[in-house]
Amino acid sequence: MTARFIIGDPDTVGERLTADLALGIDGFTINAPANGHIEGRVALLGRTAAAVVG
């Protein structure tokens, strides 16, 4: 798999991460340069990703 972007609401991001896991991906490196400085965005991304990976 190559580097790519996932853009969307928490449901969309969760669905895309879940689809990647189904392909056999066993981990993610997540970067939020566009909105990581906005209060609450990193926490939201963390909750979204944690719901997928358990």
Separation of alpha carbons 35 and 27, rounded Å:
22
How high does pLDDT run on average in the chain? 90
Q: Which tokens go with 9?
A: 């609401």
Q: What is the pLDDT of residues 1-54, one digit of tens each?
A: 667 889 999 999 999 999 999 999 888 888 888 888 889 999 999 999 999 998
23-54 CB burial, b ≥16 within 10 A, e <16? eeeeeeeeeeeeeeeeeeeeeebeebeeebee
Separation of alpha carbons 6 and 13, rounded Å:
6
The whole-number pLDDT of residue 39 equals 93
Instruction: Decide: 20 and 13 in contact? Cβ < 8 Å.
Output: no
